[in-house]
Each structure stands twice: as structure tokens, then as C-alpha cells.
Amino acid sequence: MLKRHLFVLLAGMVCLPTFAQFRVEVSGVGLTQVPIAIAAFRGDDAAPQKIGAIVQADLERSGQFRAVDTTGVALDETARPDVSTWRQKGADAMVAGSITRLADGRFDVRMRLWDVVRGQDLGGQSYAVVTGDLRLVAHRIADFVYEKLTGDKGIFSTRIAYVTKVAQTYNLWVADADGENAQSALNSAEPIISPSWAPNGTQIAYVSFESRKPTIYVHDVATGKRRLVANFKGSNSAPAWSPDGRTLAATLSRDGGSQLYLLEATGGEPRRLSQSSAIDTEPTFTADGKTIYFVSDRGGAPQIYRMPTAGGNAERVTFTGTYNISPALSPDGKWLAYISRVSGVFKLHVMELSTGATTAITDTTADENPSFSPNSRLIIYATHQLGREALMTTTLDGKIKARLAGKSGDIREPDWGPVQK
């Protein structure tokens, strides 16, 4: 597998049908969950997308909400719910809304959120959108509900990127955070690996082998245009964006061994960062941009280290386990996710950086490529489950997991994009 061998830049990609859709399967029980009633939106039956169902799936996948049954309930945003009845049913909050086709072909979507416990109207939203934006509207409604009830920003309207291989064609996909609405951003007869979202959410850096060696491109998601930013002698791999979007950290072998370099996101001459005789790879920036975490075998086996972005001595971070790779930092700076080989299997671990306490949070044995959600509450990763590759999300305690499963085939290299302004 790609990220399991520091010395190998490419491993077998996996297959997924070109028009694959995903279903979200949520498992596990959280310790504290808000019971919420989400009635089917009036007009859902005649609409191309079931807004209420998408909102409910988003909130359940977060691990912080539990759905209260609303079967047979007829409510929309104009009606005040009978809060005493819903309290008896165990709900703390309620969402109701409607979707109506307008004369110009667009859809008018409206919703309202109620605090059932206090009997308070917590506000609502309305949108007039084309058919293709209905899922985005549902995700934005889920973001609104999530923020109102938890105080944290929602991440359901964000996007993910991942790579597939179909026959001899590699595809870079961009999809909604729930795995649906996947759009092919790029396809190639040569491997594509290591997609990395820019902080502004409009570009993805990735590694392509179309020149018969690894080179780094930056791809504009909206236009499909791309630019070559690293094609130096030897290997050019593992791009990672600085928080301001101006700089890429990458692993280059232009001077012999594989070392960390910094280069402008527009290209240009790189500046060498690490100065070891080992393999240094998989860089990732802290949220303030002052530190880079990375993987190195300088101690004899792959471990995670950190060093100042300005240069200096590297400090080892992982000490539990003999093989630790694929570091991912939470945007709030509190957590490090990584993959550790334990008794011959690969498991997703989470470290609390303030204490160094580490926990394995999965029961699968082939986890890869963790990436945090923008609000630091969830991790997306690839794994092997039920005889096939799968894309998963998990809460940081591992209690709530969601499987984003294709109808057939496999997916790889997930990266969670930022919240777009």
C-alpha cells in the first residue's frame, strides 16, 4: 500500500465504477447525542432529492445526533410544532421544511429549527436553487442545524477528494462530504496519488506519473486547468499546503535521498528543509504554519517527527509501536491521527498532543490515509472491510463510524477539503 512503504511511491490502486454512488451506513452509539426529529419536507415526494433524509443522514453521521421517528408526520416550516408531544417522544429539537418547484424550474427550499425543550424558534433558512444544487442546500441546512445546536461549525457542505482506478484509468474524484455527487476532476492512464486540498478549497495538489516518474501538479477544481509545480530530477511526491496557501511542502529526491523541501505554490526553486541521510516524507503543516510533522526512518523504522518550518532539529513524536506513518493534524491543533502497524495489521490511531496519550480507534486491519474534517470532529480514512476497500468516517473516540460504500469497487487516498467561504 502506498503509505505503508516509505520506499515505494506507488501501490495498487483500486476499482470503482465511473458513475458510482455511495450510501452512508452509520454504526455505533455515542455517549451523548441530541435527539432530533426531522420531518420529511413537504414536497419531498415530488422532488429530485429528499432534503429531510439528507439532513438526517448528515447529522447522524456526525455522531452527535440521534434521530427520533417522524413517520407519518405532516409538518412544514410554517407550522409551530406541538412541543409537548415531541418532548414526550424524546425529541430535544425538531426540523421541518418544504420544497416547491418554481415557475422558472428552480426549487424553493425552506426550513425551520425548533428547540422542543424550551419551545423556542431557533431560526430558519430559505434557498432558491437549480436541481443540481439541492444536495448542497440539504448539506447547508445540516450545517445550520449542527451549529445552532452544538456551537461548532458544520462540515456537511464541504467536499472530499479521493482516487480510483477503473481498468487502466486512474480518476481523481471530488465529492460531497457524504461521498455522494462524485465528479471526476481528472483521469489519466498513469497513476494519480496524494491529493491535497488547498486551504481555499478551490485547488488540489496531487502527484501524477504521466511523465513516467512522480511529478506534482496543482489542479483548479472549477476550471479543470492545472499547472506543473515540481518536476525536478528524481522523485517529486507528498505535497502538503501551508495554511496560507502560498507554500507547498513536498518530498524531493533531486539531491539524492528523499528529503523535505518547501516551494512556492506557483512553482520555482525549492528550499531544502530536512538534512538527514534517511527518507523523510509525508509532511503536514500545523494550523499556525510554524511546524511540520512528517515521517522518517532515521531511527531505523518509520516514525512521526516534527520540526520548525524555518528549519532546525527534528523531534520524534510517536513512541508507541515500531511503524507509524501518515500523520494528519486536526485543524484545532489538539490531535494527531496516524496509521500504526500493530501485530502485523494497520490501524488508525489518535494522539492527544497535549498529553501524548494514544488510542487505536478502529477494529479494521488495513487502515490508510486519515484526514480530519475542518471542525476537527471527524476523521475520514480508507480501509479494507467485508472483503473490499471502503471509505469511512469516524468520531475521534471511534464510537460512531460511517461507511461510504460504493455499489462495487474500491476507493483510495481520501482528503477532506476545507470549509469554503
Q: Are 320 and 356 in contact (CB under 8 A)?
A: no
Query: What does the pLDDT read at residue 30?
Result: 53
Q: Are 261 and 250 in contact (CB under 8 A)?
A: yes
Give the pTM.
Answer: 0.91
Q: Are 373 and 390 in contact (CB under 8 A)?
A: no
Cα separation, 316 vs 306, whole angstroms: 6
Cell numbers 456526525 correspond to what residue? 62
Q: Are 138 and 41 in contact (CB under 8 A)?
A: no
Cα separation, 235 vs 356, whole angstroms: 33
Could you tell me whether strands 388-395 and 401-406 are parallel, antiparallel, or unpaired per DSSP bridges? Answer: antiparallel
Could you tell me whether strands 65-68 and 34-38 are parallel, antiparallel, or unpaired per DSSP bridges? Answer: parallel
Task: Share the mean pLDDT of the chain.
Answer: 90
Q: Which amino acid is at 128?
A: A
- pLDDT above 50: residue 322: yes
Number of H helices, E strands in the chain: 3, 30
pLDDT tens, position by position, 64-110: 999 999 998 889 999 999 999 999 999 999 999 999 999 999 999 99
Phi, psi of 104 (to 5 degrees): -85, 5
CA angle 96, 97, 98 (to 5 degrees): 150
Secondary structure of residue 24 in the 3-state scheme: strand
Own/partner pairs for 361-364, CB < 8 Å, 24+ apart?
361/394, 361/396, 361/397, 361/398, 362/392, 362/394, 362/398, 362/401, 364/392
Cα separation, 381 vs 401, whole angstroms: 11
CA distances from 2 to 241, 371, 410 (A): 20, 15, 15
Cα separation, 229 vs 227, whole angstroms: 6
Secondary structure of residue 44 in the 3-state scheme: helix
Among candidates 352, 351, 349, which has minimal Cα distance to 340?
Answer: 349
For the residues 138-150, what does the mean pLDDT come to? 97
Domain spans in the chain, listed from the N-terminal domain onward:
2-21+158-416, 33-150
Q: Are 307 and 273 in contact (CB under 8 A)?
A: yes
Q: Which helix (H) or strand (E) holds 58?
A: helix 51-61
What is the third-level CATH fold of 2-21+158-416? Neuraminidase (2.120.10)
CA angle 302, 306, 311 (to 5 degrees): 120
Q: How confident is the model at residue 316 (pLDDT cuts 50, 70, 90)?
A: very high
Question: How many angstroms separate the most distant Cα atoms in the chain?
Answer: 71
For the residues 99-125, what does the mean pLDDT come to? 97
Cα separation, 415 vs 160, whole angstroms: 6
Q: What percent of the chain has a predicted confidence (pLDDT) above 70?
A: 91
Residue 300, sorted as left (phi over 0), alpha (psi -120 to 50) or beta, turns out to be: left
CATH superfamily, domain at 33-150: TolB, N-terminal domain (3.40.50.10070)
Query: What does the pLDDT read at residue 412?
Result: 86
Q: List the beta bridge partners of residue 261.
A: 250, 272
Cβ burial of 342 (10 Å; 0-12, 13-18, 19+) is: middle
pLDDT tens, position by position, 201-247: 999 999 999 999 999 999 999 999 999 999 999 999 999 999 999 99
pLDDT tens, position by position, 14-47: 222 222 333 445 555 555 789 999 999 999 999 9
Q: Are 45 and 194 in contact (CB under 8 A)?
A: no
CA angle 147, 153, 155 (to 5 degrees): 110
Half-sphere exposure of 99 toward its Cβ, with a 13 Å CA cutoff? 26
- pLDDT above 80: residue 3: no
